[in-house]
Each structure stands twice: as structure tokens, then as C-alpha cells.
Chain A
């Protein structure tokens, strides 16, 4: 005899939960009770038709236009800088050539005057010519 109440409860549960054969005709009755199979309803999904924002609509063309402008501006700037540098180099060259010509002219004038002094110092005094030399 098993007197343990826990064992009794377990046995009772086993007894109650044991597989039981369905009564005869149960399957037919169940199938008859089910409604006829219907086609699933297809609900079409229509996304909300939203208007694109101006930023999205014009963003790309604006960026392209800006890039183009920047490229043109930079190109003009580079060309302008190059032209400016060339102009400065040209002016410096002109100035340098003019300075070198002036230098040669200055040396010629200097030599002419030194020649004059040299001739005056070295030439014998002529009659009636009073020269004061040192």
C-alpha cells in the first residue's frame, strides 16, 4: 500500500492524462464542423505617396552646380595666379634688363670722366693753357 500523498497525486495525474482513443466518428464530426476553406484575403499595400523634400529634390543638382562653380572658380584663380606670377616675372625681367643697361651706361659715363681726368693729368700743358692739376 502506498500511503504517500505525493505518490497518489502522481498516479492520479498519470491516470487522467493517459492517451485515450477518440470516440468513433469524432474526426468526421470535427471536419464537418469546420467552415469551408476560403481564399486568403489579399490586402494591397499602398505606401503613402509623400512629396519629396526640396533638399532631396534639388540637393544633387545643387551639389553638382556648386562643384562646377568651385572648379571653375579654382581654375580661374589658378590661371589668374599664374598670369600674375608671369606678369611679375616679366616686369622683374624688364626692370633687371633696364637696370643692367643703366649700370653699363653709368660705368661708361664714369670711365669717360676718368678718361678726361687721365688725359688732363698726363697731357703736357700747351702754351697759354693754364692747368691746375694734382
Chain B
């Protein structure tokens, strides 16, 4: 039987009726209508379902939906500061060609945003370490790493651009 959970998603208070044995990933995709977060493996091995749960990057496929009651979630849909402006991470991903098929991209963008908030000037090693749990099969990671480096560079000059 479904239970009601109340949480904040991308700054908005939401109430969702969820099955206790469903995952947060399925609740987001089916019950909240937020399909930007993807299901690549459903067992926490690919990072396609990365969301920020109380600020921490988390695989939504490994969280039971009822556990999310009372949490603050940020999904890919909540990364851009407003509908007409993209976040610097998103801008650099486009400029650098860091997305090809795009399926893994939401997970990477969310992870990159979390990394840069915690560590605004990461080294290349720190970037690779942060995205170690996100799988991309199209790009070979080169341009993803470059995009994150470029974002750090851009933020150094305009730090207010990130929220």
C-alpha cells in the first residue's frame, strides 16, 4: 500500500504517494514526473541516477522511496538557476562536447556540481576521483574532465554564477 512522503525537490515542496518497496529513482521518474534522472543499471554501479540528497551525491536507485521523506533533493532538472540560464557546468559540457548520447550526462552534471561546490579548484586527479562512479561509454571521459576543469576556471572569474 502506498504511503505519502513529503520532501523538497529542486526547491519545491512535493508530496508523493510511493510504494515502500520502490526506489527513490522510480519515485522520481514515475511519481514525480522527473525523468531526467536515468536508470542505467539500477544497482548503484553506473551513476546515471545520481541526485543530491541533502546536498550529497547519491545513487537514487539505492534509496528506498520512503527514506526520502523530509529530505531536500536536487535532480538534474534543478541544476540550472532559472529557465533561461544554464549552470556553468552545463554550459561547459556543451562547449567542450562532453556529452554524446547524453544518457549519462545528468548523473555527471549533478556530480560535477557537487564536486565544485565542495572543492572549487579541483586538480585533474581530484576530478577523476570524484567521477570514478559515473560511467560513460561514448566519450572516453576526456571531454568530461575538460568540461569540469573549464567550469572551475570559469567560476574562478565569476564565482557568483553558481548557486
A and B associate = no
